[in-house]
Amino acid sequence: MSGPAASKRPRSNGATGWLLSAPALILLAIAATGPLFIVILYSFLEKGDYSGVRWILSGDAWFRVFFEKDIFDGTVSLADANLAIIWRSVKLSLATTIITFGLGLPTAWFIATRPATQRAFWLFLITIPFWTNLLIRTFAIMEVIRNQGLLNTFLLHYGVISEPIQILYTDTAVLIGMAYVYLPLMVLPLFAAIDRFDFKLIEAGYDLYATRIKVLRRVILPIIRPGIVAGCILVFIPSLGAYVTPRVLGGGKNMMIGNFIELQFGQGQNWPLGAALSTMLLIIVLGSLVVYMRVSAREEPHG
Amino acid sequence: MARPRAFDVTTLPGFTFIAIVSFLLLYAPIVTLVIYSFNAGDSVNLWGGFSLKWYHVAAGNEAVQGAAIRSFIIATWASVIATTVATMAALGTTRRGKYRGQSLIYIIINQPLMVPEIVTAVALLIFFSSVKIATGYTGLGYLILAHSAFCVPFAYLPIKARLEGMDINMETAAADLYATPWKAFRHVTLPLLAPGIIAGAMLAFIISLDDVIITEFVKSAGQDTLPTYMLGQLRRALTPEVNAISTVLLALSIVILALFSVVTRKRG
Amino acid sequence: MSIKVAVAARNVGKIYGAGAAAVNALGDVSIDIQQGEFFTLLGPSGCGKTTLLRCIAGFETPTSGTILLSGRDITHTPPSARPVNTVFQSYALFPHLTVADNVGFGLKMQGKSRSEVASTVARVLDLVKLEAFADRLPAQMSGGQQQRVALARALAPAPEVLLLDEPLSALDLKLRKEMQSELKRLQTETGITFVFVTHDQEEALTMSNRIAVMSAGELLQVGTPRDIYDRPVNRFVADFIGETNFLVGEVDGTAVRIASGERLDVPLNGQTGRVTLAIRPEQIKIGTVPGGLAATVTDATYLGTDTHYALALSDGSALVARVQSRTGDDFAVGDTVGVTVDASAVQVLKE
């Protein structure tokens, strides 16, 4: 009677879970996660004659990220050009994060304090740029800041300036572009945090004689901190790895790490160096994520 | 004589002003881009009157046609593949007790959201270039595979959210009413999950359609998609043709997003 | 006429988890549920009644023992192959299907023809008085209506046994009373065996042919509502079903000497030593002294048709009496009264 029962026993939760997830995991292993390990491996190989690698273990690529050896006398010095690019990337990414926070906090606050019926509309206005093509948005800002662009035409027309300002192909252009492109990434997590915020706390703050600025600093900012951290990381990480925006607006000279990596796989023909730079970027990103998870793990239980 | 204003606790000094400025800054460039796509002149800055000329130019350009077709083929395949595997993964990770390795599955599925695209692009370049040499195959398969992979988390999230909102007793009730596990899935789980699956597929489609970096690194010669075609055009003298292509892509994204919010808001 | 058993549980046990974290949800339960009866599993939450129901439905597999349906072993039969349907506590209606499609779901899954499904659905909707709502979605209906849809859905495939898992708990009092008689009517009309789970003893008493009282995974007593109410087997059952006074005493020959010193003549079944007397409040009569046990009225609550008196015997032990309100002979707090109890109405429980 109970013969077929034994064979029909339901599989354990874990086995079914893994089985159902397997196709996604295999796909990602082949075309996303797996190749990352190849990059790490390549960073420890020797550079090939034209491109590619020679299968000899070597720390040369990592050495060359930070130092350079003079080809004539063999003296070792800091790799100024490389470090300048890395420093510019960090600097521009931090500046982007600060600018987007300055604009994003009031914007997120504004959306969260709209009446319920209007909120979806304002939120939709933020989501449209969020989901639209990064290239198109970069291209749009380029048309605004170029020499014959909207901004210069406008300023010339009203006599504010007598000659067009050269913004395009400068660090400023890259910064403006990144701030423009990544602003929605700052607004959305800030909005999510403010949306959960209990506005009675502000009343309580005012009731206890706090000024508006004190309420902002002592009540609002500490409570929405997880949202701030999330927004800053969501902007900082893609800024650091930015490729399209500096390529289009920086014009080849004002490179960031992303463009520098590409260079190694193109004209530079130094795959191990490119792989080492990529791995470095990966490490920075993972580090930021660990920081983020620590912060949110510490604060979420109260929310 | 200032009229005393009601004290509104939600107002902070200057916030509304900055917010309005932010919205203007966000939209002014996009609106300008769209306006100049209708320019009769050859410049992206000088207005020469209204015309649909550049839409005709773009539509008649064989390179654009090819790129558009390629973009759609890749986005369609990528969203179908990504949504299928993401649906299975969502079923495998949601509404069942905790099991070993569950968080590892989450991390792998969401990995494309965390790693900078340039790093993945380089990784795929290295990997696929040796596969191309080894197999001799240089078709669109690599792009489809790469796009499917980075679309997985975008398809996964709305499906998972939908599943989590579903009554845990639905399949039990179906089984009680003589439905075999497959019939219960087919007649109960799947229809209830449909809005999430459609939403996931739409997001995956947009994400694939918009991708620049990974496509740029993975594509073989003559495999431009619309975004990589546009990126290539930026090196040359710009004409409103690029504006016209951008506007079409923009309109497409907005339409899909509007549909997306309709689908996700209508709760079963 | 021989009584047929619809559902039988034989030494059914269920343990969740393993090792130190194991929870014993069902001990060793054996029960016979007869065909065509309204059978209730009654007990406080966590007593195992829902686990037993889920074992009968097939949602849980017992750790030990067997479940028989009309004599067939169905212990390991999947729920989809059991001619048993469930009305869920949360109703679990399919939100994407209309009322008619919900009700016809089981028939459709059984592969019945379209016309047969349609006619059965129409008949069952008529039975629960929802003919007019066939095309509605569950979300467009009230809680009481959803409850009827859930019932109709479970009844439509004409199961051998209908399982109801606290189906009335989400309804307000008035609606609950209405549904109680409605359920009773449906059970009589269809003749289907109903197995009803509830923690509400009043609901169990008014609706059931027989009740099984459960506690901590064990079956304590099975019997008709009258059996359970009048002849509880132990203090737990007596306490759980209705209001009861407990008096502790010592067997003294053919009578029981209670703490206050008086001897009460009660029917003894060979008990000796310390016993507990269970007396229902309505079995207690009070009159003017002398006569019966002397007691003091400590509180009187007028409840319309009845009046509740809280009494204290000479040793301080408390009693509650429920007396029909009649003008003229009510007592006030502080009055000394004589308490009499019909000996045959007293249950002697082993301590």
Domain positions in chain B are 61-265
CATH code (residue A134) = 1.10.3720.10
The model's pLDDT over C45-62, given as tens digits with 9 standing for 90+, comes to 888 899 999 999 999 999
Instruction: Please tell me which chains touch C, using 3 or more CB pairs under 8 Å as the contact test.
Output: A, B
Residue A202 has pLDDT above 90, yes or no: no
Q: How far apart are CA B228 and CA B209, in angstroms?
A: 11
What does the mean pLDDT of chain C come to? 87
Exposure letters A90-119 (e unless 16+ CB within 10 A, then b): bebbebbbebbbebbbbbbbbbbbeeeeee
Examine residue A209 and state whether it is found in any structural domain, yes or no: yes
Could you write out the three-class secondary structure of chain A? CCHHHHHCCCCCHHHHHHHHHHHHHHHHHHHHHHHHHHHHHHCCEEECCCCCEEEEECCHHHHHHHEEECCCCCCEEECHHHHHHHHHHHHHHHHHHHHHHHHHHHHHHHHHCCCHHHHHHHHHHHHHHHHCCHHHHHHHHHHHHCCCCHHHHHHHHCCCCCCCCCCCCCHHHHHHHHHHHHHHHHHHHHHHHHHCCCCHHHHHHHHCCCCHHHHHHHHHHHHCHHHHHHHHHHHHHHHHCCCHHHHHHHCCCCCCHHHHHHHHHCCCCCHHHHHHHHHHHHHHHHHHHHHHHHHHHHHHHHC
Q: Chain B: nearest CA to A97, how far in angstroms? A: 15
Q: Write out the residue range of the structural domain in which residue A171 sits.
A: 79-302
Query: Domain B61-265 belongs to what topology?
Result: MetI-like fold (1.10.3720)
Q: Chain C: nearest CA to A11, how far in angstroms? A: 14
B 92-121 → A contacts, CB under 8 A: 92-93, 96-97, 99-102, 105, 108-109, 111-112, 114-121
Q: How far apart are CA C35 and CA C52, in angstroms?
A: 18
Examine residue A50 and state whether it is found in any structural domain, yes or no: no
Tokens of C265: 């003549």
Shared-domain flag, residues C81 and C195: yes
Instruction: Please tell me which chains touch A, using 3 or more CB pairs under 8 Å as the contact test.
Output: B, C
Shared-domain flag, residues C102 and C224: yes
Identify the domain boundary among C173, C205, C236: C236
Tell me if chain C has a CB within 8 Å of the CB of A1.
Answer: yes
The model's pLDDT over A42-97, given as tens digits with 9 standing for 90+, comes to 999 988 877 778 888 888 888 888 888 777 777 887 878 888 899 999 999 999 99
Question: What's the rounded mean pLDDT across residues C243-269?
Answer: 80
Q: Chain B: nearest CA to C138, how far in angstroms? A: 10
Going by pLDDT thresholds of 50, 70 and 90, the confidence category of residue C318 is confident
Going by pLDDT thresholds of 50, 70 and 90, the confidence category of residue C338 is confident
Examine residue A13 and state whether it is found in any structural domain, yes or no: yes
Residue C305 has pLDDT above 80, yes or no: yes
Closest C-alpha among C19, C22, C8 to residue C73: C8
B250 to A153: CB separation less than 8 angstroms, yes or no: no
Say what the pTM is: 0.82
Examine residue A297 and state whether it is found in any structural domain, yes or no: yes
Identify the domain boundary among C211, C236, C261: C236
Provide the domain count of chain A: 2
A 2-21 → C contacts, CB under 8 A: 2, 4-5, 8
Going by pLDDT thresholds of 50, 70 and 90, the confidence category of residue A303 is very low
Identify the domain boundary among C205, C236, C267: C236
Shared-domain flag, residues C259 and C123: no
* pLDDT score for B22: 94
The model's pLDDT over C106-154, given as tens digits with 9 standing for 90+, comes to 999 999 999 999 999 999 999 888 999 999 999 999 988 999 999 999 9
Which among A140, A183, A282 has CB closest to B119?
Answer: A282
Shared-domain flag, residues C131 and C268: no
Q: Chain B: nearest CA to A74, how far in angstroms? A: 31
Shared-domain flag, residues C24 and C76: yes
CATH code (residue C208) = 3.40.50.300
Shared-domain flag, residues A114 and A23: no
Tell me if chain C has a CB within 8 Å of the CB of A128.
Answer: no
CATH code (residue C306) = 2.40.50.140
The model's pLDDT over A96-113, given as tens digits with 9 standing for 90+, comes to 999 999 999 999 999 998
Q: How many whole angstroms from its chain centre is CA C250?
A: 32
Q: Write out the residue range of the structural domain in which residue C13 sits.
A: 5-236
Shared-domain flag, residues C35 and C59: yes
Shared-domain flag, residues C94 and C123: yes
Shared-domain flag, residues C97 and C208: yes
How many percent of chain C have pLDDT more than 70?
Answer: 97
Tell me if chain B has a CB within 8 Å of the CB of C81.
Answer: yes
Instruction: Please tell me which chains touch B, using 3 or more CB pairs under 8 Å as the contact test.
Output: A, C
A32 to B120: CB separation less than 8 angstroms, yes or no: yes
Enter the DSSP assignment of B186. Answer: I
Provide the domain count of chain C: 2
